[in-house]
Structure formats: structure tokens, C-alpha cells
Amino acid sequence: MLKLKRYLKPYVLFLVCGIALLFGQAMLELELPNYMSNIVNIGIQQGGITEIAPEAIDDGTMQVMQLFMSDEDKAAVQAAYTQAGPDDTLKRFPDLGEGDWILNADADTAAADAAFSRADYAFLTMMEDFLAQSGGASLGDAENKSMDMSKLSEILPMLESLPQQAFDDAIATANAADESVLSQTAYVFTKGYYTQLGADTDAIQTEYILFTGLEMLGFAVLLTVCSVSAGFCLAKLGAGVARDLRRDVFMRVTSFTNNEMDQFSTASLITRTTNDVTQIQTFLSMGLRMMCFAPIMGVGSLIMSLTRNSSMAWILLMALVIMLAVIFILFRVALPRFKKMQSLIDRLNLVSRENLSGMMVIRAFATQDFEENRFDKANRDLTGNTLFVNRAMVTMMPVMTLVMNGVTLLIVWVGAKYIAASTMQVGDMMAFMQYAMHVIMSFLFISMMFIMVPRASVSAERISEVLETKSTVLDPEHPKELSQPARGVVEFRDVSFRYEGAGENVLEHISFTAKPGETTAFIGSTGSGKSTLVNLIPRFYDVTEGSVLLDGVDVRELRQQDLRAAIGYVPQKGMLFSGTIASNLRYGDENADEKTLQDACDVAQASEFIEHLVNGLDAGISQGGTNVSGGQRQRLSIARALVKKAPVYIFDDTFSALDFKTDAKLRKALKGYTEHSTVLVVAQRVSSIMHAEQIVVLDEGRVAGIGTHEELLKTCETYREIAQSQLSKEELA
């Protein structure tokens, strides 16, 4: 993956923004369980009361509560509160009267909270025991979060009669109590204080739940915005990188010579350009999201859950150990199969492509059964590998579900005990449960990375192989320019050539000159090097020794674009592209007018069948030109080269599919059309080249003779044997 990191640079802003938004999304999502916990703990259990030290308290109640405070707590409370005057009113407390107590705006609420929480608990402990023994009226139900403070007047005389030691014992008990127990008791008392002063506690509860719910909704909306925005940024990143990779792979492949093409099959190159790039795009747009989001959520949820209740950390630890063990076992088995996936796709594409391309040969030899079996094997190999991987991955989800449900049950079971002991609140248990689910899901997402990362890494490696393959034919650093207009003189000077990795030369010491206005033909037995020789002119290969010159300039000193712009090339196999006849012809010159196209078709003897088509030059051509015959395809290929009006024409055995009559008419028309151009013709038939001004006879990569037809019949035995095998004595005479 790192080999392709340069492709991330143009999209670094999207990457940074996407990661930042994912971080924001994680932080917001980590806050939602806290809000849910607050709604349960404060909104429902505490009645919306958020303060322990009441904002206002009845004077008589204050006197009673101070009986249960230590001297330090009394001082803290007296410093925090002021008695209400005749004009002091609070909208929230309609029954507040003169002499009652109001919390100062600048009071030390922490000290006052601590004082009241201990006093409330001490009072509750002492009075519940006393009233239970005496059978007196209850002050309320602390379990149901209600306390009737109006009954304090009934017990005040009794309290005054108690010895100080009883109060000291109650205060000592409160000081030893757990902080969570003190606070939960204090909220109940605070609600009672407010009720005593006429406050609408139901409205306080509703208000708290409503505003907390709105805040939670706002967080959820913001979370959604972050999630969608992060998805957009990473989708842009993935799509942009994929587009650039496809572009560069395609451009790299188009610059390959046949030497480089031999290193990769066509099917493999198609897979690398499509499926492999898609794997990387999927990783960047989806995998990168999980890779960034899951660790933040996992670590954050772990920290947040421990802040809620560290005593249940062992539950999370147990769940993580089980998940890691399952993930390790699964990927130990499945990971090698992931790495094998792309090569199996290559194989299936190769077999499919060969079957589709060679359909007529397959039918002609009646080998459909063999090809079906070959495809079936490749298909079964890929299917079997995919099924193995999917089965391994499918087992993960039930295991993870079992772990999550087991953890949920364990948290409820253990949490219930803590709640019964008043060391945990219901909302805290629910939040802990949610954080635990986040931790488990985060590890599940991380495990998915073991699926995506290996495939993306393999795909990146395969793409990198193509991008790092350098073409053996390169433009010079300081190219020379051809004279304009180019004359078209082609010269071979002691040229030798061998294919890369071959032990012997295919061509050896070839020298000749092809001049404008003349036709230079090449003939020889199969494998003598005719096509290889003409492929050296447009630099499909570079010579091993010697040099090929165009107008006196070594073709290696010219830019490939300038060189090939001066050459009209017709390959051995006529290749047409999907589109129309006109669009194919304009490959030679995109600005060619209708007359130029028509003239080229007339010379190539293509007009006779084009005229019979419904749309003429606008008739459709299917991919590869499969909707026209071999001879028609060859004539259109010739017309395409003629549209270019180049100073040099190369015809690589392009007349082989033509009948003798069409061949003769084409050569006659071609002579006048190319009278100022250099024409090089590779041929198998002597009749096609016997009127050429110069014929080069090749035999096993060497020049066996150069001359005209008549001269070679006298001086070149190889040419004479070829001619005698094809022509009658009358034609030779």
C-alpha cells in the first residue's frame, strides 16, 4: 500500500477532513450513553434534581438538619446561605417566606453539598430506626424517591429531647457511608425540601428530561452530519485515487512495448485495472473509515466504561480475550485464502477471454466440452476459495453475537447486585452496557480490516508492478526534429535484433534504403523476421545493434509521437474499434473531411461494400470489427492508414485476405495515391510485390538478396524458390 502513497497527496485535504470528522463522530457517539444515563439517573430517579444543597430551604427544616451536622458542616452551610427578607421571593418556590434560607449565588456549593448529603443520611438513619421502634408516622419512602418534610414539625420536640450522643453516632455513621449512597439519599431530601416550599417537582423533572433529550437529539444530528461528511470525504478520496490509478495504469500499459506486454497477460492487466483498483477504492472509502473509527471508539468506550464502574472491568477483559482468540483462529485459517483470491480472478478472466476470443476456433474443432471443463475448473477454484473464506467469516458473526449477549446478561446480573447495594445507579449500568457493546463492535470492525487490508495490499502490489515496469522504448532527453514536411527516406544500417531474454538474434546485419515514390517489399519464409523488421521502424522494438534512420535521423533520437506521426501503419491483423466506419477511419486523422475518407476508401477498395450499407460511412462497427468479414476489415485498416497521408506507409502482410482481383486493383490505386511516399510491404505472395521497385528477401533473419523481381529471379536462389512455388512458368517469364 505504501508504494501507492503518492496518489494520496492530491487528496490529503479530504483525508485529513475525513479523519477529523470521524474523530468528531466518535467523540459525539461516546457522549450519547452519558446523556441516556443522566436521563435515567437524574431525570427519572432523582426527579430532575441536579443539586444536593437546595436552592432554598424552610427555616424549621434548616434548624432540624443542622442538628445532624458537624461544626465544620454547620459553618459551611451558614456561609453558603442567607435568610430571606420580606421582599425576597423566588418564582420557583411560591411558599418561600421571610426567615427561610436561600443559597447564595457565590456560595461554595461543593462544601454545602457535602454537608447536606451527610446531614440527610444521618437524619434518615437515626429517624428511620427511631420511628420503626416507636411505631410513629413515616417521613416518606426513600426507596421511591419521596420524602414528606411537612412532618418535621411533629418530631421536632422529640429531637430536642434526645441526647447529643445520638446525633454524634448518626453523624459518624454518615461519615463512614459510601459517597454514592450519600448522594442518592440527598437528592431525595432535596426534592422534599422543594415540595415543602411549594415547588412543582413534576415540572422540574419534565424540564430536565426535555432539555437533556433535546441536547441528546442535537448531538445525534451533529453526529449524523459528521458521519455523512466523513463518508463524503473518504468517498471522494477513494474515487479520486481509483480514477488516478486507472488512468496511470492505462497510460503505462499503452506505453508498453511487446517486451513488457509479454510479462503480463491481457486478462491480468484487465483485472488489475478494474478489480484491483476497486479493492483499493473500497479500502479507502470504507476500510479506512473503520480503521480510524474503530480504535477511537474501542479505546474511548473502554475508558468511559471504566469511569462508570471500574469494578466490572473484568467482564470487558474476558470478552476481549474471547474475541481476540476467535479472530486469531479465523484469520490464521482464512488469511492465505484472501491473498490467493486475486490470482484466481486472473485465471477466470483469462479462460473467459480466451473462450470468447476463440469462439469460432472452439466450434470448428468441436472442443466446447473441453473449454467448458476448463472454465468450470477455474470457476470452481474461485468459488471454492470464496466459499471457504465466507464460511470462515460467517462463523464470526454468531460468535460475536453470542459474546455480546453474554456480556449484556453478565453486566445486568452483576450490575443488579451493585444497584441493590446502592453502589451503582441504573443509568450507569445501562451506559456501561452500551460502552461494552461499542468495545465489542469496535473489535469486530477491526477484525474486518483483516479481510480488506490483505486484499487491498495484494491489489496495490499488483498495480505497483505495472506502474513500476519501465518501457524499454523511451523518448530521448533531447529529441531531434524531422524536417517538415518529412521526406520519408528509411534506412537500415547494419541492424541486428534479438528479443529480450533470447539467446540468438532474430535479425542480423540488415542494411538497405527505402526511398520516397518507391515500394520496398519484404518476402521470405515464415519466421524469417519480416514483421519484426518493419516493427523496428515505428520503434515497437528498439534495435539491438546498428540503427534505423528516417530522413537521416536515428529513430531513437526522435520523440515516439513525432516518429509515428510520420508513419501510416497497417498491422498484420486488421483491428477495428467499436463505433462507426468514419470514426475508425479518423484514427488516421481526426480532422479528416468526408472527401479524404471517401478517397481513402476508394483506394483501399472498401467503397464497393460501404455503398451497400444502409448508413454508409456512418454504419456501426462492433468491438474488434466482428460484424464485417476479414477482407473488409483489412481494407478498412488500409483505408485508415491512407487517411493519414503519411510520408511512410508500412503494410504488414495486409493483402493476404484479399482475392487476386481486389489485390491487383488496390495495388494499382495505391501506386498513384502514394507516389510521394515511401511504401514498405510485407508479403507472402510474390504476385503482390513483383512490381515493387525494391524487394528484400529474408532467410532466417539475414538478407538473402535485394533487387527487383527480375533481378532476384537471376541472382537469389531463395527468391527463385518462392516464386516458382507460387507462379507458373508463364507468369515468371
Question: How would you write 277-301 as a 3-class SS string?
Answer: HHHHHHHHHHHHHHHHHHHHHHHHH
Confidence of residue 129 (pLDDT cuts 50, 70, 90): low
Could you tell me if 605 and 621 are in contact, meaning their C-beta atoms sit under 8 angstroms apart? no
Residue 607 DSSP symbol: H
pLDDT at 2: 67
Q: How far, in Å, CA of 253 to CA of 531, rounded? A: 22
Sign (positive or negative) of CA dihedral 115, 117, 122, 123: positive
Mean pLDDT of 686-699: 88
Backbone angles phi, psi at 702, to 5 degrees: -120, 155
Q: How far, in Å, CA of 590 to CA of 231, rounded? A: 42
Average pLDDT for the chain: 85
pLDDT over 70 (residue 470):
yes
Mean pLDDT of 408-417: 89
Domain stop point among 617, 645, 673: 645
Confidence of residue 228 (pLDDT cuts 50, 70, 90): very high
- Beta pairing class for 101-103 and 56-57: antiparallel
Mean pLDDT of 177-188: 85
Share of the chain above pLDDT 90, in %: 25
pLDDT at 144: 44
Domain stop point among 630, 645, 660: 645
Amino acid residing at 396: M
CA atoms within 13 A on the CB side of 726: 18
Degrees, nearest 5: CA angle 148-150-152:
95
Mean pLDDT of 690-707: 90
Q: Which CATH number goes with the domain that contains 579?
A: 3.40.50.300
Please, what's the largest Cα pairwise distance for the chain?
152
In this structure, the answer to whether residues 252 and 358 fall within a common structural domain is yes
In this structure, the answer to whether residues 358 and 270 fall within a common structural domain is yes
The range of the structural domain enclosing residue 332 comes to 2-36+213-468
Confidence of residue 130 (pLDDT cuts 50, 70, 90): low
Our measurement of the distance from residue 595's CA atom to the centroid of its chain's CA atoms, rounded to an integer in Å, reads: 50
pLDDT over 80 (residue 151):
no
What digits encode the pLDDT tens for the residues 233-278? 999 999 999 999 999 999 888 888 777 777 777 777 888 888 889 9
Q: How far, in Å, CA of 632 to CA of 626, rounded? A: 10
Amino acid residing at 306: L
In this structure, the answer to whether residues 375 and 336 fall within a common structural domain is yes
Asked if residue 380 belongs to a domain, the reply is: yes
Confidence of residue 154 (pLDDT cuts 50, 70, 90): low
Asked if residue 44 belongs to a domain, the reply is: no
pLDDT over 90 (residue 574):
no
Asked if residue 629 belongs to a domain, the reply is: yes
Residue 653 CB neighbour total at 10 angstroms: 21
258 vs 255, 498, 532, CA distance in Å?
Answer: 10, 13, 11
Mean pLDDT of 354-382: 84
pLDDT over 60 (residue 462):
yes
- Beta pairing class for 648-652 and 567-570: parallel
Mean pLDDT of 130-158: 57
pLDDT over 80 (residue 474):
yes
CA atoms within 13 A on the CB side of 502: 11
Asked if residue 342 belongs to a domain, the reply is: yes
pLDDT at 667: 84
Mean pLDDT of 339-363: 79
Could you tell me if 267 and 350 are in contact, meaning their C-beta atoms sit under 8 angstroms apart? yes
Mean pLDDT of 437-449: 82
Q: How far, in Å, CA of 541 to CA of 507, rounded? A: 12
Cell (9 digits) for 668: 494499382
Radius of gyration of the chain (CA): 45
Confidence of residue 137 (pLDDT cuts 50, 70, 90): very low
Could you tell me if 443 and 403 are in contact, meaning their C-beta atoms sit under 8 angstroms apart? no
**Which one, of 459, 454, 453, lies nearest residue 342 by Cα?**
459
Degrees, nearest 5: CA angle 29-32-37:
150
pLDDT at 139: 52
Q: How far, in Å, CA of 103 to CA of 54, rounded? A: 7
pLDDT at 234: 93
Confidence of residue 678 (pLDDT cuts 50, 70, 90): very high
In this structure, the answer to whether residues 461 and 336 fall within a common structural domain is yes
CB-based burial, 366-376: b 16+ in 10 Å, e otherwise: eeeeebeeeee
In this structure, the answer to whether residues 280 and 347 fall within a common structural domain is yes
pLDDT over 80 (residue 336):
no
In this structure, the answer to whether residues 599 and 725 fall within a common structural domain is no
pLDDT at 46: 86
pLDDT over 70 (residue 155):
no
pLDDT at 153: 60
pLDDT over 70 (residue 620):
yes
Asked if residue 54 belongs to a domain, the reply is: no
Confidence of residue 622 (pLDDT cuts 50, 70, 90): confident
In this structure, the answer to whether residues 349 and 217 fall within a common structural domain is yes
Cell (9 digits) for 680: 514498405
Domain stop point among 621, 645, 669: 645
In this structure, the answer to whether residues 273 and 353 fall within a common structural domain is yes
Tracing cell 443559597 back to the chain, one arrives at: 103
Q: How far, in Å, CA of 584 to CA of 292, rounded? A: 49
Asked if residue 201 belongs to a domain, the reply is: no
In order, the DSSP letters of 300-346 are HHHHHHHHH-GGGHHHHHHHHHHHHHHHHHHHHHHHHHHHHHHHHHH
Please list the alpha-helical segments (H only) found in 516-673.
Answer: 530-535, 560-565, 581-585, 594-603, 607-610, 630-643, 660-673
490 vs 211, 449, 456, 549, 554, CA distance in Å?
Answer: 88, 59, 49, 6, 10
371: Cβ contacts below 8 Å, ≥ 6 apart: 355, 362
276: Cβ contacts below 8 Å, ≥ 6 apart: 342, 459, 460, 462, 463
Confidence of residue 215 (pLDDT cuts 50, 70, 90): very high
Could you tell me if 83 and 99 are in contact, meaning their C-beta atoms sit under 8 angstroms apart? yes
In this structure, the answer to whether residues 385 and 289 fall within a common structural domain is yes
In this structure, the answer to whether residues 610 and 670 fall within a common structural domain is no
Mean pLDDT of 600-624: 86
Share of the chain above pLDDT 70, in %: 94
Asked if residue 114 belongs to a domain, the reply is: yes
pLDDT over 50 (residue 709):
yes
Asked if residue 109 belongs to a domain, the reply is: yes
In this structure, the answer to whether residues 625 and 674 fall within a common structural domain is no
What digits encode the pLDDT tens for the residues 507-523? 999 999 999 999 999 99
Q: Which CATH number goes with the domain that contains 336?
A: 1.20.1560.10
In this structure, the answer to whether residues 69 and 151 fall within a common structural domain is yes
Residue 471 DSSP symbol: -
Quick one: CA torsion of 379, 382, 383, 387, rounded to 10 degrees? 170
Omega within 30 of 0 (cis) for the link into 571: no
Could you tell me if 254 and 273 are in contact, meaning their C-beta atoms sit under 8 angstroms apart? no
What digits encode the pLDDT tens for the residues 628-674? 888 888 888 999 999 988 999 999 888 776 777 887 888 888 888 88
Residue 274 DSSP symbol: I
pLDDT over 70 (residue 1):
no
* Tally of domains in the chain: 4
CB-based burial, 456-483: b 16+ in 10 Å, e otherwise: bbbbbebbbebbebeeebebeeebeebe
pLDDT over 90 (residue 457):
no
Mean pLDDT of 704-731: 85
